[in-house]
Amino acid sequence: MAPMLRLAPDAPPPAADGRRRRSQDSRARIVTALLELVAEGSVSPGAEAVAARAGVGLRTVFRHFSDMDGLYREMAAHVEQAFLQGLSQPLAATDWRERVLEMLHRRITVYEKIAPFRRAGDAHRHRSAFITGNQARFAAVTREMLDRHLPAEARRDPQLIEALDLLLSFEAWNRLRQEQRLSTRRAAELLEALVRRQLG
């Protein structure tokens, strides 16, 4: 008699494997739905809107994410990935002042991409320790990137460093674009002029 075919002890049963794939697919659709809604301008999409866009039940959303903060963690990871991809390439300029200006324009490109997600994060920051901490880390990373390209004599000027850190920040860009309603071109021109003034 031929021996019975047995599954390896650690191999999941086919039914369980199918359930896992469906669960992973549902989770991916939920995260994609949140990102799409936020990118379209919904600063605070509710679980019902996310479920409808993802084509899943409301219970499925909360089965994967016990609260909306879990979804915003996923959004924060997406923003971080976009930010690092946009700024990871070495700067081409050799003069440190030109490197600062190159850094400014690179950040502007990234800021335009991540702006809807940062604004959504700001809307929830007051009730989310995670978002508060994540944005503080974002500010620290951008500050470190700036410090890395400044020569010793520039780093000895605290006023210059603080001014550049402000002008190259997402908050400065967002203020010009949202509250002052400048176009991308006008906002970029204004920030470049202000940065050049600081650089002398």
Q: Are residues 80 and 133 in the same domain?
A: yes
Is 176 part of a structural domain of the chain?
yes
Confidence of residue 17 (pLDDT cuts 50, 70, 90): low
pLDDT in tens, 1-10: 444 434 445 5
Domain containing 188 equals 69-199
Q: Are residues 129 and 184 in the same domain?
A: yes
Q: Are residues 132 and 169 in the same domain?
A: yes
Q: Are residues 23 and 74 in the same domain?
A: no
pLDDT confidence of residue 24: 83
> Buried b vs exposed e over 99-120: b needs ≥16 C-beta within 10 Å?
bbbebbebbbebbeebbbbbbb
User: In the chain, how many domains are there?
Assistant: 2
pLDDT confidence of residue 79: 77
Which of 42, 66, 90 is the endpoint of a domain?
A: 66
pLDDT at 22 over 90: no
Is 4 part of a structural domain of the chain?
no
Structural contact between residues 56 and 71, judged by C-beta atoms closer than 8 angstroms: no
pLDDT confidence of residue 7: 40
Q: Which two tokens stand for residue 37?
A: 């809604």
Is 49 part of a structural domain of the chain?
yes
Mean pLDDT of 12-26: 71
Mean pLDDT of 133-156: 91
DSSP one-letter string for 163-199: HHHHHTSHHHHHIIIIIS---HHHHHHHHHHHHHHHH
> Buried b vs exposed e over 169-180: b needs ≥16 C-beta within 10 Å?
bbebbbebbeee
pTM beyond cutoff 0.85:
no
Q: Are residues 34 and 115 in the same domain?
A: no
Q: How far apart are CA 53 and CA 68, in angstroms?
A: 15
